[in-house]
């Protein structure tokens, strides 16, 4: 494990695998950095750098109560710290909230390219009625953090419904440890619900935006909107793959990313 610090003093912990051009892998919502384990072997010509997001397994000290309005700024700052700490100009590859962070960080950080799988951005028509953060917060307040996590799973990971949620959770590698992250996830969801995608994103680096047909419809719509807001972007959809795309189908997604980076 290696460490660096962001501008506000937050310790950033990360793993580095292999040698070559740095590939910075940014995980999303309730996933730990181990989310990327199935992906890393497909990039053996790169130096895969896998951080643990502050607040998701690493200590934030008195910054643990970061407000929803500050969450994305904090995320961008830790990515900037990593970019500055690495030898070479990195590629950013983010999933979900990590994808939103990658896009926002690429506006200021010197990066070679950015890859975003279903960035956690809500369409304007959907954002106005989004209330996942409020529903989760109410369950936490009522002493039901597990039920709060279940609402997240149902809406984000299984938007088409799931027959036996408890059986699925029993097989979910991060369950029940992820329940301890629920308050941080509530803040993250509030940040997503408040984020407004600009008409034009100030990212000079080439971008690849990815989506799957089995994920939430609103995230597919948002992936297209992010693609259109980026000056130099390519959009690819994967048939039959869900919001968990990179870990669920690492081979085809990694192949697409490698092809994009070679080009």
Q: Which two tokens stand for residue 42?
A: 């497909």
Q: Prior bond to 176 cis, omega within 30? A: yes
Q: Domains for the chain: give ranges and CATH numbers.
A: 2-123+197-262 (3.40.50.1820)
pLDDT at 67: 66
189 CB neighbour count, 10 Å cutoff: 27
Q: What is the mean pLDDT of residues 141-151?
A: 95
When pLDDT is averaged across residues 117-125 and rounded to a whole number, the result is 92
Instruction: Please write the tens of the pLDDT for every residue from 182-226.
Output: 888 898 899 999 999 999 999 999 999 999 998 888 899 999 999
State pLDDT tens for residues 49-88.
999 876 654 434 444 456 666 888 888 988 998 998 888 9
* 105: pLDDT strictly greater than 70: yes
Tell me how many helices (H) and strands (E) the chain has. 10, 8
As beta bridge partners, residue 4 has 12
- Report whether pLDDT(31) > 80: no
What is the pLDDT at residue 68?
66
d(CA 208, CA 117): 8
Integer Cα distance of 28 and 262 in angstroms: 25
Residue 73 pLDDT: 87
Q: What is the pTM of this model?
A: 0.90
What's residue 63's pLDDT? 42
Q: How much of the chain exceeds pLDDT 90, in percent?
A: 56
Per-residue tokens: 65 = 């109560």
Q: What is the pLDDT of residue 128?
A: 74
Cα separation of 111 and 84, whole Å?
10
pLDDT of 57? 46
- Whether residue 21 has pLDDT greater than 80: yes
Give me the mean pLDDT over the 31-47 stretch: 89
User: Which secondary structure element, helix H or strand E, spans residue 12, and what is its range?
Assistant: strand 11-17
Task: Give the pLDDT mean for 169-188.
Answer: 87
Is residue 115 within 8 A of residue 257, CB to CB? The reply is yes
Q: What is the pLDDT at residue 25? A: 96
């Amino acid at each position: 494990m290696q460490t660096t610090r962001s501008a506000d003093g937050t310790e950033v912990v990360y793993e580095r695998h292999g040698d070559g051009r740095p590939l910075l892998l940014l995980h999303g919502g309730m996933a730990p950095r181990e989310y990327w384990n199935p992906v890393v072997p497909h990039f053996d010509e790169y130096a895969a750098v896998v951080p643990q997001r502050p607040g998701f397994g690493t200590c934030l000290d008195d910054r643990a109560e970061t407000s929803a309005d500050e969450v994305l700024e904090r995320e961008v700052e830790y990515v900037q710290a990593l970019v500055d700490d690495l030898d070479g100009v990195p590629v950013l590859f983010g999933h979900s909230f990590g994808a939103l962070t990658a896009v926002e960080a690429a506006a200021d950080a010197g990066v070679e390219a950015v890859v975003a799988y279903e960035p956690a951005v809500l369409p304007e028509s959907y954002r106005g009625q989004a209330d996942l953060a409020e529903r989760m917060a109410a369950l936490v307040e009522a002493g039901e953090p597990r039920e709060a996590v279940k609402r997240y799973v149902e809406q984000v990971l299984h938007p088409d419904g799931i027959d036996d949620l408890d059986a699925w959770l029993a097989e979910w590698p991060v369950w029940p440890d992820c329940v301890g992250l629920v308050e941080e996830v509530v803040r993250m969801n509030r940040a997503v619900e408040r984020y407004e995608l600009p008409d034009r994103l100030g990212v000079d680096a080439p971008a690849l935006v990815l989506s799957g047909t089995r994920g939430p419809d609103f995230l597919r719509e948002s992936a297209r909107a992010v693609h259109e807001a980026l000056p130099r972007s390519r959009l690819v959809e994967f048939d039959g793959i869900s919001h968990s795309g990179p870990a669920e189908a690492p081979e085809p997604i990694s192949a697409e990313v490698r092809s994009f980076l070679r080009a």
